[in-house]
Amino acid sequence: MIAMSGGVDSSVAAYLMQQAGYDCMGVTMKLYENEDAGVPRGHTCCTLDDVEDARRVAYALGMPYYVFNYKDAFREQVMARFAAAYQHGATPNPCLDCNRYLKFGLLETRARALGCDVLATGHYARVEQLPDGRYTLKKAVDTTKDQSYVLAWLTQEQLAHTRFPLGGLHKTEAREIAEAHGFCNAHKHDSQDICFVPDGDYAAAVERLTGAHSEPGRFVDTQGKVLGTHRGIIHYTIGQRRGLGIAAETPLYVCGIDVPRNEVVLGRNDELFSTELDAGGCNWISGDVPDAPLHVTARIRYRQPEQPCTVTATGPDTVHVSFETPQRAITRGQAVVFYDGDTVLGGGTIAQPLCRYAADLGFEVVVADDRPSFANHPRFPEAKQIFLSVNYRSRAGIVETAGKLIGQNRERFPKQIVAGQSTSDERQDVCFVPEATQGARRMQGEKSTLPIPTGTASGISTAAFGTSWLPLSTD
């Protein structure tokens, strides 16, 4: 089965698979209606043109061609995730979700049901089989077109039944093949935008998909000072400078998005840099979770050059990443993908940069909402405290979960300190400390003393406990 988008790459992939001796069928996934992309009914949508281009190439090659309707699945697995991420202050990668849940999920399942041995696509990447029988994913020969970053969630089972015919070619060679065989799309431009957001207005797409308007809120600086009013958090992403509408002596950038307070945190460019992050939902292509830190390279966005780092698995699907040099605008919701030379080791979804403030204050386990982020963390080998930013109605369950993860029971953490309470009555930042630690009391005023272990900071500003950057994940 050839996944044909109507572009030149998947068309050449179909030709190459046929030349390799496979009996092929071409298929295109119908993913959305025009209205979902903000295109009026009756307008000539590019996706309809793409279907026709794919059909013409398939028929020219003498292979059967089908269109499969995956609109409902696409809306649920890609569009809804996209909208929810922006509503929760994250920046998603819908192309990665489409590959993961649609192309190498539902479509591959359909291929097997129809008796196809392999699914071939026009991605620029390579699959190789190792001497031990396992498969590995590698970068494309054409590094300018390499798409391995969006394929890092492929499993051994999927790789065994996947082919990337273009992995050993350069883009110019693919176009030459298409032109030589008279393909109608030989000179068709590559798609650049998210398919269901053709105009690039992500905020409008979120409101169109959810039917909800994003409420305005406050711009604040990293110290909590109010700077102005924002249009709604879905309009912003980490590192953004344009469109803020804030006059300042020095350029300001989005450094954080505080969903519970509906605040967008602005700061200087140098405040965007961090050397560490935590990620969840990780996939290891080999099938084995590393039992020791890996000294590898990683990308935190699609076209970023790889950066040297140390990756430590903190759980079956969680990791901590420490970069050798500070990275700009590490963004929650984006993928971090790990490489060993040309080999893709796997990847995960960025939760949030490590809170250097909490680390500096001596906290050894930090939990945000219901997802422990620092269990078995290399920076925090022995847990003595738990910091949570939580909805107080679900606090007990979170504490129990955190206690289990660090090998303690609930009775060891009876003391709690409310620090920097949110303006919302439903959210509080809470520090739980062991029973052996005496003198726990509610923080009052701008500075108070917390009963934290010897050798760590004791004078702590309540501002340091704000939810602007302490929550590490929001699901």
Query: Which residues are tagged catalytic?
Result: 98, 195
Crossing angle of helices 202-210 and 80-87, in 10° steps, is 110
Tokens of 274: 């961090």
Give the DSSP letter of residue 221.
E
Contact 368/475 with Cβ under 8 angstroms? no
Adjacent-strand bridge partners of 415: 433
* CA separation, residue 398 to residues 37, 79, 280, 366 (Å): 39, 30, 18, 12
**Measured distance CA(383)–CA(366) in Å, rounded:** 9
Contact 118/160 with Cβ under 8 angstroms? no
3-state secondary structure 13-55: HHHHHHHCCCCCCEEEEECCCHHHHCCCCCCCCHHHHHHHHHH
Q: CA torsion angle for 202, 68, 168, 348 (degrees, to 10)? A: 50
**Measured distance CA(406)–CA(422) in Å, rounded:** 27
* Cβ-proximal residues to 444 (8 Å cutoff; 6+ apart), any chain: none
76 class by beta-carbon count within 10 Å (0-12 exposed, 13-18 middle, 19+ buried): exposed
* CA separation, residue 237 to residues 279, 303, 347, 360 (Å): 18, 17, 21, 26
Burial profile 105-115: b = 16 or more Cβ within 10 angstroms, e = fewer: bbbbebbeeee
**Cβ count near 243 (within 10 Å):** 12
* Cβ-proximal residues to 466 (8 Å cutoff; 6+ apart), any chain: 224, 258, 420, 429
Residue showing tokens 């992939």: 13
Angle at 35 between CA 349 and CA 203, to 5 degrees: 45
In terms of DSSP H, where are the helices of 149-269?
Answer: 156-160, 171-180, 202-210
* Cβ-proximal residues to 271 (8 Å cutoff; 6+ apart), any chain: 222, 253, 255
